Amino acid sequence: MNLLSIENIAKYYGERIIFENISFGINKDQKIALVAKNGTGKTTLLNILSGIDVPDAGQIVSRKGLQTAYLSQNDELDPNLSVEEAIFSSDHQTLKIIAQYERALKDPENTEAYQEAFELMERYQAWDFETQYNQILFKLKLEDLNAKIASLSGGQKKRLSLAIILIRKPDLLILDEPTNHLDLEMIEWLENYLKNEKITLFMVTHDRYFLERVCNDIIELDHGKIYRYKGNYSYYLQKREERLNLAQIEVDKAKNLYKKELDWMRRQPKARTTKSKSRIDDFYQIKEKAHQRRQDHQVQLEINMERLGSKIVELHHVSKSFADKTILNDFNYVFKRGERIGIIGKNGTGKSSFLNLVTGSLPTEKGKIIIGETVKFGYYTQAGIVVKEGQKVIEVIKEFGEYIPLAKGRKISAGQLLEQFLFDRKKQYDYVEKLSGGELKRLFLCTVLIQNPNFLILDEPTNDLDIVTLQVLEDFLLDFPGNLLVVSHDRYFMDKIVDHLFVFEGQGKITDFPGNYSDYRSYEDSSEPQTQTLEKKEDTRKTAIVNGLSYQEKREFGKLEKDIANLTKKKLAIEAQFSNGEISQEKIEEASMQLQQIIQDIEIKEDRWLELSMKMEA
């Protein structure tokens, strides 16, 4: 069933074409993601679909009575309402029935009103609905229903706006960056909720894992045109690459034809026949196609930053708290050269405060932080960039630096860096106030990078960045030779660029985990099965464990010791054959694979042995 049809719509700002002749449809139960660069019209298109804006040409045709809910980047809630009042302020029938029932509970003497409210709850099966909306509020950490909206933080307001539209269950849900301001636990809950609910969804998100697991239809807005891919994000990447390769082949063909036609044009006399005029018209079309240029950039830089010394950053017995909230408690860590550390944890556990402590913008209470003499921080904060009125993009970045030195005496200028981050020459001379939110974030990143730091600290760098820019940033960071400390809820981004994690668990507890985010989730899932409640696990532990290990675990522990010893003998034997040259050329590959498998088996069994031995000591 078709819910919404977009027919040949266009949008212009002055002489600038945002997009034109855009057509597609949204059918019931489709889950569609819109992918495009910042500043190319994503939010404009969402505003048109939701009815906030209108197209300059074409039309939007919707099914009669279609209920649409839109989570925008700038939702405005009435600051005078409480959380509960904001939720019940809609025209949703079931919400009105629940509100009536809640009022009746507060006035138990009015039995007639209570009976009427109770019967309505039964008739409309509002009990299940109430349970579900309470779960949504709980998962989004909005349990204080009496709190005034005016007292909420920006993140809490965004989560409340998200909760309100999820609770209302519209026919069409339009979401603009729904994962912003959510911690990882909330993102994973929302991901599962949207994936499993029968819901029609149209959204913009930079979270590629979220996109991969929720959406079954990708629409790409590229250079003002729509390309549609019936599949998830992985399918989109594959088919997009094929499309770009095909387009490049067409451009190459046009270039060859252009050369031939150019030669013909030069040899033609001034007097033209009808046939030659037609060929001349074709020539100009060929010329236009042959000179097409894509604005896709890949960062491949050998940055010649100031070399880090042996002492980087050291934290010795550092403690920090705010009122009753402990951020660090006797924390110790010595950063090594080239480390790439990701920081994850729930909102409010002190991740940003930790970055401020490391950079010295927040004082410690106890302990000391030692910064090496050669360390030069580059700090990207959530606060963004402050620019002077009337400044142009290129002027902003040049205030921080003119170039970045590269290897072999080369350098990249401020303008070239902007080009790497998708600001073409024309855009560089635009006024900053004309930039979109994502473009401002991109510019801020460039001002940090142009200073050529050797220790990059990034606080939520992926917020408001489009997927294309994220790929550019990831390529840059993979080439970056210095230290990296990053807070992000973007799981794909973290998996790609960090080596290990600081997991902020709250009240000063920080776990140093050796691996990326997916490794951590796998570890958590394997060590803490979700089918068991905490109470059941505790009961099992008390009844099944004797001297730290159960009977089965004791048997496993003994077997592991024998297995490790036998595998180690095999490993030494194969290594000796390699050293003595006893393995023939034909069998080298086979022996190498066998040795690799043995090493892997030893590591797995040693990890399990260590886990059981620690449990036995406890």
> Of the candidates 236, 258, 276, which is a domain's last residue?
236
> Of the candidates 496, 527, 558, which is a domain's last residue?
527
Q: What is the mean pLDDT of residues 575-597?
A: 73
pLDDT of 46 > 60? The answer is yes
- Co-location of 520 and 432 in the same domain: yes
Strand-pairing partners, residue 202, are 32, 174
- Co-location of 485 and 543 in the same domain: no
Q: How far apart are CA 381 and CA 69, in angstroms?
A: 31
Measure the CA dihedral 247/248/254/259, to 10°.
170
pLDDT band at 296; cut points 50, 70, 90 = very low
pLDDT of 342 > 90? The answer is yes
Q: What is the CATH number of the domain that holds 596?
A: 1.10.287
- Co-location of 223 and 255 in the same domain: no
pLDDT of residue 283: 62
Angle formed by the axes of helices 111-123 and 93-105, nearest 10°: 150
In a domain, 305, yes or no: no
Q: What is the CATH number of the domain that holds 93?
A: 3.40.50.300
In a domain, 212, yes or no: yes
- Co-location of 162 and 261 in the same domain: no
In a domain, 281, yes or no: yes
What would the pLDDT profile of 50-78 be if each residue is shown by its tens digit? 999 999 999 999 999 899 999 988 777 88
- Co-location of 454 and 372 in the same domain: yes
Q: Which two three-digit tokens encode residue 333? A: 């860590």
Cβ atoms of residues 22 and 58 within 8 Å: yes
- String of b and e for 391-411 (b: at least 16 CB within 10 Å)? ebbbbbbbeebebbeeeeeee
pLDDT of 437 > 90? The answer is no
pLDDT band at 575; cut points 50, 70, 90 = confident
> Of the candidates 512, 527, 542, which is a domain's last residue?
527
Judge residue 450's burial from the number of C-beta atoms within 10 Å of its C-beta, 0-12 exposed, 13-18 middle, 19 or more buried: buried
- Co-location of 443 and 497 in the same domain: yes
In a domain, 297, yes or no: no
pLDDT of 543 > 60? The answer is no
Strand-pairing partners, residue 62, are 4
What would the pLDDT profile of 346-366 be if each residue is shown by its tens digit? 888 899 999 999 999 899 999
Of the candidate ranges 184-193, 247-256, 437-446, the one whose mean pLDDT is the lowest? 247-256
pLDDT of residue 276: 63
pLDDT of residue 27: 94
The helix/strand/coil state of 221 is strand
Task: Compare 306 and 618 and report the one with higher pLDDT.
Answer: 306
Which of 291-305, 438-452, 583-597 is the most confident on average?
A: 438-452
What would the pLDDT profile of 264-280 be if each residue is shown by its tens digit? 666 665 555 555 667 66
- Co-location of 15 and 110 in the same domain: yes
In a domain, 391, yes or no: yes
Percent of residues, the chain, with pLDDT higher than 90: 26
pLDDT of 173 > 90? The answer is yes
- Co-location of 227 and 257 in the same domain: no
Place of tokens 């932080």: 369
In a domain, 306, yes or no: no
Of the candidate ranges 13-17, 285-289, 305-309, the one whose mean pLDDT is the lowest? 285-289
Q: How far apart are CA 46 and CA 542, in angstroms?
A: 55
Using left for φ > 0, alpha for ψ between -120 and 50, and beta otherwise, residue 58 falls in: left
Of the candidate ranges 5-19, 137-151, 324-338, 516-530, the one whose mean pLDDT is the lowest? 516-530
Please name which of 389, 466, 452, 461 lies closest in space to residue 417, comparing C-alpha atoms: 452
What would the pLDDT profile of 177-214 be if each residue is shown by its tens digit? 898 888 888 999 999 999 998 999 999 998 888 988 99
pLDDT of residue 45: 92
| Distance spanning both ends of the chain, measured CA to CA | 60
Q: How far apart are CA 431 and CA 415, in angstroms?
A: 15
Cβ atoms of residues 71 and 175 within 8 Å: yes
What would the pLDDT profile of 500-536 be if each residue is shown by its tens digit? 899 999 888 998 888 888 888 877 776 654 444 434 4
Of the candidate ranges 226-230, 436-440, 461-465, 608-612, the one whose mean pLDDT is the lowest? 608-612
- Co-location of 401 and 439 in the same domain: yes
Percent of residues, the chain, with pLDDT higher than 70: 85
Place of tokens 């998996």: 495
Cβ atoms of residues 224 and 17 within 8 Å: yes
Judge residue 387's burial from the number of C-beta atoms within 10 Å of its C-beta, 0-12 exposed, 13-18 middle, 19 or more buried: buried
pLDDT of 409 > 90? The answer is no
pLDDT band at 104; cut points 50, 70, 90 = confident
Contacts with 152 (C-beta within 8 Å, 6 or more apart), sequence order: 83, 160
R_g of the chain computed on alpha carbons: 30
Pairing of strands 325-334, 340-345: unpaired
Q: What is the mean pLDDT of residues 391-418?
A: 87
- Domain of 586 in residue numbering reads as 534-617
Question: What angle is formed at CA 273 by the lines to CA 270 and CA 276, rounded to 5 degrees?
Answer: 85
Task: Compare 492 and 285 and report the one with higher pLDDT.
Answer: 492
Number of domains in the chain: 4
What would the pLDDT profile of 365-384 be if each residue is shown by its tens digit? 999 999 999 999 999 998 77
In a domain, 64, yes or no: yes
Judge residue 289's burial from the number of C-beta atoms within 10 Å of its C-beta, 0-12 exposed, 13-18 middle, 19 or more buried: middle
pLDDT band at 468; cut points 50, 70, 90 = confident
- Co-location of 184 and 252 in the same domain: no
pLDDT of 538 > 50? The answer is no
Contacts with 150 (C-beta within 8 Å, 6 or more apart), sequence order: 79, 80
pLDDT of 80 > 80? The answer is yes
What would the pLDDT profile of 22-35 be if each residue is shown by its tens digit? 999 999 999 999 99
Please name which of 443, 485, 484, 448 lies closest in space to residue 464, comparing C-alpha atoms: 443
- Co-location of 249 and 339 in the same domain: no
Q: How far apart are CA 450 and CA 346, in angstroms?
A: 32
- Co-location of 365 and 407 in the same domain: yes
Angle formed by the axes of helices 274-290 and 233-267, nearest 10°: 140
Q: How far apart are CA 461 and CA 482, in angstroms?
A: 17
Handedness of CA 578, 581, 582, 584 (dihedral sign): positive
What integer best gives the mean pLDDT of the chain? 82
Strand-pairing partners, residue 12, are 17
pTM of the full predicted structure?
0.65
pLDDT of 452 > 60? The answer is yes
Cβ atoms of residues 207 and 175 within 8 Å: no
In a domain, 454, yes or no: yes
pLDDT of residue 392: 92
